[in-house]
A and B are shown apart, each in its own frame.
Chain A
Amino acid sequence: MVQFFLSRLGQTLAVLFTVSIIIFALMRMIPGDPVLMRLGDDFTQAAYDRLRGELGFDRSIFTQYLIWIRDVLSGDLGDSFLNHERVSKLVLDAFIPTLTLVVASVIVGILIAVPSGLIAAMRKDSAWDYGSMGFAIFVYSMPSFWKGIILIWIFSVYLGWFPAMGYVHPWTDLSQGLWRLVLPAVTLGTFFSGLVARIIRSSLLEVLDQDYVKAARARGVRRAALVYKHALANALIPVVTVIGLQFGTLLGGAVLTETVFAIPGMGRLSVSAILNRDYSVVQGAILVGVFAVVVVNLLVDLLYAFLNPRIRVA
């Protein structure tokens, strides 16, 4: 287990190193002189040289990368070019609503996926099976931003049950916060449920085919008891992996979903930063987003190893 942990940690650091190089290279490929962009129209050569020195652009590209990494590791992502706020603060403020949405969506997704995957597996090849799997493909294929608009149309405009947009931290105002989170979480959560329901179905079918399950059946254990006590727990292990593998997709989906619901998250931050050419914000947002994906993958792998004794012991 310790060895697994260390090798997995090493891989994670290697990936983060590559990611940092990719982001650094991308930001250097942006056309235009960042020094000129800061100076505006009226400046002297001396002022240009001074700022260039201050920003470190007169050093070698290698040194620049090292300085950038040193700053990033100490939590300094630079300042917003537009309003001179700390990028780390802007990104963190935007990341919290996005992460809240992702977590809420995973919960909604699992709440939908477990019963529908269960029914599909228990009643394999029945109308239930086809119905819930058809529904899974349907919600999985709906682009999240369009699904969000449809939900707003039905539940906000027509029925008036939920607010159409806005965000409040659930921990500052629980009822308002959750209330506003329902439609966005259902939008993204149904996508996730479409994915997970199919996996639960197939892993349940696989588990139900195992010898120990057949043996229990032969001893007269009821099928339903069997599924709940033995099969379901094992069938849920792959779901953990899916959360890890799909965290990036969920984060991307959240970026689109929050745009629909006017949630002030990472999507709005990075898109407005791109349109304003505020590249230190773009860079910080992407860095934090990818960092989150890599870390979640590490955590999920470790959790998976912990849940699965075959890996834990080995």
Chain B
Amino acid sequence: MASPLGAGDRPFDAEGLGVPALVVASATTPGARAGVRRWWRRFARNPGAVFGLAVFLAIVAMAVLAPVLAPYDPIAQGVGNPFERPSAAHWAGTDSFGRDIMSRIIYGARVALVVGLVAVLLAMVIGVTLGLISGYYGGIVDTVIMRIMDGLFAFPIIILAIAMMAVMGFGVRNVIIAVAVGFIAPFARVTRGDVLAVKEEPYIEAARLAGVGSFAIIFRHVLPNVLAPIIVQGALRVSGAIITESGLSFLGLGPPPPTPAWGRMIAEGQAFIVMAPHVSTIPGIALMLAIVALNLLGDGLRDTLDPRMRR
């Protein structure tokens, strides 16, 4: 009987898999480090994944170093003439207010990344907790939680996010919450499914017989063993969260202006597509690069981390 991690009954299998090794990498035991190295070698063989990681790190750097990198103040109007074509002075041209588009793209990375990462993290914490409780306790608790998740799951993400924005009003914090709510159900489902398998393992039974409390069993023994698919799920969802954020921004329901958000920049540029196509098209390139990179990175993580996907 193979465990869902395919790693036998050992709660941690730093040598064989590299998955839990990543989880305990902070322990910096020699075995864990070897596991990480092994995982990395596998990861590095996938050119798409490496490209994705490189672009993702570049975007992170762009967001963190925005004040240093951006040539102009992203919300200052009239740093150039309106609708200047891309030039040496304005690499991506200027928009209808004479704002520097490159600077706005660089700062826009902050909104995209913050929303993408924080929303997924929030959804992960809530969804995984619900999935752990649901899967471990079963019964009526399980039924109630999972029926609510089924209901949430029926909502198209962007439509749920639109509804949430209607309830909460605009602003970056509310965008994060709106996007996060849409991603809770997938995390709960994935976690619950794996918990159901893990909780039948002998070491869980052993812990229970040894008198370890439910809380400790869930977080110390069950969670680490279901974490790999959750991390994969998280990586795959970040691009979805960024797409949702940019979609909300595009509809005018995102962070209020003049905050630079890629979706809103694309929307604002659409009116000028005939006379100044660069206003709309160039921010879209940044958005698409980010999404392609995150999709490739997510696929790479899935192929190397999730043993079920590895053949």
Tell me whether A and B are bound partners.
Answer: yes
Residues on A with C-beta less than 8 A from B295 are 137, 140-141
With an 8 A cutoff between CB atoms, is A267 at the interface?
Answer: yes
Can you report 19 residue pairs joining A to B where beta carbons are below 8 Å apart? A15-B147, A15-B151, A18-B147, A18-B148, A22-B148, A22-B152, A22-B155, A138-B292, A141-B288, A143-B246, A145-B266, A149-B280, A157-B273, A255-B251, A267-B251, A286-B159, A286-B162, A286-B163, A297-B154
Task: Report A83 CB to chain B, min CB distance, Å.
Answer: 18
Cα separation A219 to B285 with both chains bound (whole Å): 51
Task: Report A37 CB to chain B, min CB distance, Å.
Answer: 14
Contact (A252, B158) CB under 8 Å given A26-B164, A275-B252: yes
Judge whether A18 and B151 touch: CB under 8 Å: yes
Judge whether A26 and B163 touch: CB under 8 Å: yes
With an 8 A cutoff between CB atoms, is A300 at the interface?
Answer: no
Question: Main SS of chain A's interface residues?
Answer: helix
Cα separation A259 to B264 with both chains bound (whole Å): 13
- Segment of A53-61, A121-129, A232-240, A287-295 engaged in the interface with chain B: A287-295
Judge whether A14 and B150 touch: CB under 8 Å: yes
Task: Report A201 CB to chain B, min CB distance, Å.
Answer: 14
Judge whether A146 and B288 touch: CB under 8 Å: yes
With an 8 A cutoff between CB atoms, is B203 at the interface?
Answer: no
Other-chain residue from A30, A141, A146, A259 in contact with B166 (beta carbon distance below 8 A): A30
In chain B, what residue has the closest Cβ to A271?
B251
Residues on A with C-beta less than 8 A from B131 are none
Contact (A15, B159) CB under 8 Å given A137-B292, A256-B251: no
Q: What residues make up the interface of B, taking CB atoms closer than 8 Å to A?
A: 147-148, 150-152, 154-159, 162-167, 169, 239, 243, 246-247, 250-253, 263, 266-267, 269-270, 273-274, 277, 280-281, 284, 287-288, 291-292, 295-296
Cα separation A294 to B147 with both chains bound (whole Å): 14
Interface residues in A16-33 by Cβ distance below 8 A to B read: 17-19, 21-23, 26-27, 29-31
With an 8 A cutoff between CB atoms, is A36 at the interface?
Answer: no
In chain B, what residue has the closest Cβ to A11?
B150
Judge whether B159 and A251 touch: CB under 8 Å: yes
Judge whether B155 and A149 touch: CB under 8 Å: no
Inter-chain pairs besides A149-B266, A274-B253, 18 sampled, C-beta below 8 Å: A15-B147, A19-B155, A22-B155, A141-B292, A142-B288, A142-B291, A143-B250, A143-B263, A146-B288, A149-B281, A252-B156, A252-B247, A255-B158, A274-B162, A274-B165, A282-B163, A289-B156, A289-B159
In chain B, what residue has the closest Cβ to A150?
B281
With an 8 A cutoff between CB atoms, is A153 at the interface?
Answer: yes
Judge whether A30 and B167 touch: CB under 8 Å: yes
In chain B, what residue has the closest Cβ to A250?
B156
Judge whether A19 and B154 touch: CB under 8 Å: yes
Residues on B with C-beta less than 8 A from A152 are 273
Other-chain residue from A19, A31, A153, A267 in contact with B273 (beta carbon distance below 8 A): A153
Contact (A29, B167) CB under 8 Å given A22-B152, A150-B281: yes
With an 8 A cutoff between CB atoms, is A7 at the interface?
Answer: no
Cα separation A26 to B166 with both chains bound (whole Å): 9
Cα separation A2 to B101 with both chains bound (whole Å): 60
Most B Cβ at <10 Å: residue of A30, A249, A252 = A252
Residues on B with C-beta less than 8 A from A27 are 167
Cα separation A26 to B168 with both chains bound (whole Å): 10
Residues on A with C-beta less than 8 A from B288 are 141-143, 146
Cα separation A275 to B208 with both chains bound (whole Å): 54
Cα separation A145 to B273 with both chains bound (whole Å): 13
Task: Report B146 CB to chain A, min CB distance, Å.
Answer: 10
Residues on A with C-beta less than 8 A from B284 are 143, 146, 149-150
Residues on B with C-beta less than 8 A from A11 are 150
Cα separation A71 to B6 with both chains bound (whole Å): 52
In chain A, what residue has the closest Cβ to B250?
A145
Cα separation A259 to B148 with both chains bound (whole Å): 31
Cα separation A157 to B270 with both chains bound (whole Å): 12
In chain A, what residue has the closest Cβ to B273?
A153
Contact (A157, B274) CB under 8 Å given A137-B295, A138-B292, A279-B166: yes
Judge whether A282 and B166 touch: CB under 8 Å: yes
With an 8 A cutoff between CB atoms, is A227 at the interface?
Answer: no
Cα separation A251 to B154 with both chains bound (whole Å): 12
Judge whether A146 and B287 touch: CB under 8 Å: yes
Residues on A with C-beta less than 8 A from B243 are 143
Cα separation A80 to B165 with both chains bound (whole Å): 19
Judge whether A143 and B162 touch: CB under 8 Å: no
Cα separation A248 to B247 with both chains bound (whole Å): 15
Interface residues in A39-78 by Cβ distance below 8 A to B read: none
Cα separation A279 to B281 with both chains bound (whole Å): 34
Judge whether A145 and B267 touch: CB under 8 Å: yes
Other-chain residue from B154, B163, B167 in contact with A15 (beta carbon distance below 8 A): B154
In chain A, what residue has the closest Cβ to B148?
A18
In chain A, what residue has the closest Cβ to B293?
A141
Residues on A with C-beta less than 8 A from B263 are 143, 145
Judge whether A137 and B296 touch: CB under 8 Å: yes
Task: Report B90 CB to chain A, min CB distance, Å.
Answer: 20
